[in-house]
């Protein structure tokens, strides 16, 4: 007897609904608007700092989240109830002299920074990490 299967429904976020054919930048704009609290403001600030650090950065939308790339993935920007998480794809290979990485420290590849409500962003240190991630991607 042949077993019939149905395709799984693709899970979407609010930023994806009604945005068929939207560019990644438009989806990120929509996500920031959707997060109409400190998380949206934090994600917008992180995005701005990434763009300042690397004017050639490519914005993508993967796995239902913003992704920034240059010669490979630099980082993602996920929003949770109590944090905006910036996960660096190759963070374990990056120098972090300012100690920004505070999450996913046990892994062999990724490292992340959890930004919580009311916390200041060390802008220069974050931009230095972005530049280091781009340099690492370019060296491989």
**For the segment 54-93, what is each residue's pLDDT rounded down to a tens digit?**
999 999 999 999 999 999 999 999 999 999 999 999 999 9
**Cα 131 vs. chain centroid, distance in angstroms?**
15
Instruction: Give yes or no for residue 6 having a pLDDT over 60.
Output: no
Instruction: Tell me what pLDDT residue 19 has.
Output: 58
* Boundaries of domain holding 126: 24-139
Instruction: Tell me what pLDDT residue 5 has.
Output: 40
Instruction: Tell me what pLDDT residue 13 has.
Output: 47
Taking each helix axis from N to C end, the angle separating 123-139 and 38-53, rounded to the nearest 10 degrees, works out to 50
- The total number of structural domains that make up the chain: 1
Classify residue 6: in a domain, yes or no. no
User: Number of helices (H) and strands (E), helices first, in the chain?
Assistant: 3, 5
Instruction: Tell me what pLDDT residue 4 has.
Output: 42
Dig out the tokens for 124 from the structure.
């220069």
Classify residue 78: in a domain, yes or no. yes
Classify residue 123: in a domain, yes or no. yes
What pTM value is reported for the model? Answer: 0.84
Q: What is the mean pLDDT of residues 81-109?
A: 95
Average pLDDT, the chain: 88
Cite the beta strand spans of 80-129 per DSSP E: 84-88, 111-115
d(CA 32, CA 106): 29
CATH number at residue 36: 3.90.1150.200
Classify residue 2: in a domain, yes or no. no
Instruction: Tell me what pLDDT residue 15 has.
Output: 54
**More confident position, 107 or 37:** 37
């Amino acid at each position: 007897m042949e077993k019939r299967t149905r395709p799984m429904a693709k899970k979407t976020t609010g930023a994806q609904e009604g945005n068929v054919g939207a560019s990644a930048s438009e989806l990120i704009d929509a996500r920031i608007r959707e997060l109409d609290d400190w998380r949206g403001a934090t994600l917008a600030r992180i995005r701005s700092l990434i763009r300042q650090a690397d004017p050639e950065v490519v914005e993508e939308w993967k796995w239902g989240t913003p992704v920034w790339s240059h010669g490979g993935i630099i980082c993602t920007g996920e929003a949770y109830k109590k944090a905006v998480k910036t996960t660096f794809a190759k963070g374990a290979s990056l120098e972090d002299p300012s100690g920004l990485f505070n999450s996913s420290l046990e892994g062999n590849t990724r490292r992340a920074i959890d930004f919580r409500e009311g916390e200041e962003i060390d802008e220069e240190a974050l931009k230095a990490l972005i530049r280091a991630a781009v340099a690492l991607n370019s060296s491989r």
